[in-house]
Structure 1
Amino acid sequence: MKTDIRYTHQALVEKCKSGRSSSQYELYELYVDAMYNIGLRMLGNKEDAEDIVQESFVSAFKNLSSFNYESTFGAWLKRIVINKSINYLKAKRIAVVPMEEHEFHLKDEAPQESEAVDLKKVKVGISKLPSGYKQIINLYLIEGYDHIEIGEVLGITTSTSKSQYHRAKKKLLEIINEL
């Protein structure tokens, strides 16, 4: 018998929906570390990440009645954390780097063996990227969003997302090569 992953922790979620605070704490304990890591990658600041994670859990528990198992609880919560992080960055006016008048036509490139890069250098490189580039890299490479989803989340076009990703990747490689 195959289990549908969307119903992971269903019993716990249903107890939370009925108002059981101990179940809320159990869900919190299950997901807080993963959500903190997402917030930290998005915001780059420990305190801001902690605040966003707390706000996200409060929002999730307040709106738990709207959770209907179209995805896993973790995926639903992750989306809340990412949206709150992006809204926080927008409020701080950290904008995506503006796109120039022309568009880039990108191709998917398979990395060559000689292009293998140390993971530590990549992490350092990402941390040194401008905020807008860092957002695109985190959403696309780390969180797994596609360019259509990134466009919707950031309020930009798909082609802008693609070109920003291309520029961010180019800048990241420059930074890594300097390390």
Structure 2
Amino acid sequence: MDRELLQNIRKGDNEAFKELYNKYAEYALRVAVAVTRNKMNAADAVQESFIRVYKNINSFDIDKPFEPWFYRILINECNRILGKNSNIVLIDDFVGSSIQGAEEDERKFEEYEYLYKAIESLDDNIKIPIILKYLKGFKENEIAEILDINVNTIKSRLFKGRQKLKKLIEKFEGGNGNYESKGR
């Protein structure tokens, strides 16, 4: 389906671009919020990512999967925005926000609140692969392509991330609830 959409976009079909946007924008925003820790920055990153997709669609090999290419653009935009804005607002207002969307998502968030808090406390070099793997469902080799990092480095970061998440969740469930540490 993406291949056909991309071909139509190349032909100048604005409705096809709108359909592509509608297909990916909501989850892209969630990923961008998790990376940037700020709704406004996340929205900017998503918007700029789609602009870049539109401008560069002719250089994309439509025989390759679209999602890794798109998320690489998105992660790069998030990193660009983070580098540009040194005073980032934390994601404290993410709980129950309108970005969550449906009530079902809000219930899922409450169920996994410890996990989300633990992920949020990780360093970005571990957090981003964890988000892409476990919240978005990318394979290790796709994450390596998105982040332009060796696949073994991704596997190592995912392993370290799982270990740190386990410790952080156990610590949080143990009652102390302190997440001041960045998971180091």
- The reply to whether TM is greater than 0.5 is yes
Match status 1:40 vs 2:26: no
State the match for 2:113 in structure 1. Answer: 120
Determine the C-alpha separation between the residues in 2 that align with 1:39 and 1:177: 27
Query: For each residue in 1:91-123, what CA deviation from the matched residue of structure 2 results, as whole angstroms up to 9, or x when unmatched?
Result: 779xxxxxxxxxxxxxxxxxxxxxxxx523211
Q: Output the amino acid matched with 1:135.
A: I
Q: 2:68–2:146: 8 Å Cα contact kept in structure 1?
A: no
- Corresponding residue to 2:128 among 132, 135, 139: 135
Q: Output the amino acid matched with 1:134.
A: K
Larger of the two Rg values belongs to structure: 1
- Corresponding residue to 1:170 among 134, 144, 163: 163
Matches within 5 A, 1:82-161: 82-86=75-79, 88-89=81-82, 119-161=112-154
State the match for 2:10 in structure 1. Answer: 17
Change (3 A) 1:69 1:121: same
Query: Per-residue deviation at 1:175?
Result: 1.4
Q: 1:6–1:70: 8 Å Cα contact kept in structure 2?
A: no
Determine the C-alpha separation between the residues in 2 that align with 1:26 and 1:151: 27
Name the one with the larger helix percent: 2
Q: Which segments of 5 or more consecutive residues in structure 1 lack a partner in the other structure?
A: 94-117
Q: Output the amino acid matched with 1:43.
A: T
Change (3 A) 1:68 1:147: closer
Q: Which segments of 5 or more consecutive residues in structure 2 lack a partner in the other structure?
A: 87-110, 173-184
Q: 2:71–2:146: 8 Å Cα contact kept in structure 1?
A: no
Query: Per-residue deviation at 1:161?
Result: 2.9
Query: Per-residue deviation at 1:52?
Result: 1.0
State the match for 2:89 in structure 1. Answer: none
- Corresponding residue to 2:70 among 62, 73, 77: 77
* Count of aligned positions: 148
